[in-house]
């Protein structure tokens, strides 16, 4: 349902923004649990919401300025957590590589 000027009705605008916020909060929880695959699946749910929000220009509207700040903070928080997950995985992978090299060196010296 569209209003006479083509905008999305206010109730739907609030719903879209609230839904995006809920999805971001859930992704942050999943990042804390290390559930990267679930985050990816949830990201596909965010894409159409973001497209609708951007097409309607909701984040430029003064009445949604605080909501924009909140969504921006959530996105930054999610990015930080995902970056930390990536760094942790890289650290673990490097440990495995060093351990493997050490084992190979010992094995070669035993022969």
Which pLDDT value is given to residue 4? 36
pLDDT, tens digit, 9 for 90 and up, residues 31-46 = 999 888 899 889 899 9
Q: Is residue 95 part of a domain?
A: no
pLDDT of residue 110 exceeding 90, the answer is no
Alpha-carbon torsion 87, 91, 92, 96, what sign? positive
d(CA 36, CA 75): 15
Q: Is residue 44 part of a domain?
A: yes
Q: Is residue 19 part of a domain?
A: yes
Number of structural domains (the chain) is 1
Domain that holds residue 60: 10-84
Q: Is residue 67 part of a domain?
A: yes
Alpha-carbon torsion 54, 1, 18, 24, what sign? negative
pLDDT of residue 21 exceeding 90, the answer is yes
Within 13 Å, how many C-alpha atoms sit on residue 4's CB side?
A: 0
| pTM metric for this prediction | 0.73
Average pLDDT, the chain: 87
Q: Is residue 99 part of a domain?
A: no
Q: Is residue 69 part of a domain?
A: yes
């Amino acid at each position: 349902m569209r209003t006479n000027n083509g905008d999305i009705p206010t109730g739907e605008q609030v719903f879209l923004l609230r839904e995006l916020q809920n999805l971001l909060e859930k992704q942050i929880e999943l990042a804390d649990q290390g559930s990267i695959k679930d985050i990816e699946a949830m990201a596909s749910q965010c894409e159409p919401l973001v497209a609708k929000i951007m097409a309607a220009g909701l984040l430029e509207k003064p009445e949604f300025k605080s909501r924009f700040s909140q969504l921006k903070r959530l996105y930054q928080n999610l990015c930080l957590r995902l970056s930390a997950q990536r760094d942790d995985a890289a650290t673990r992978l490097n440990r495995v590589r060093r351990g493997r090299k050490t084992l190979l060196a010992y094995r070669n010296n035993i022969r």
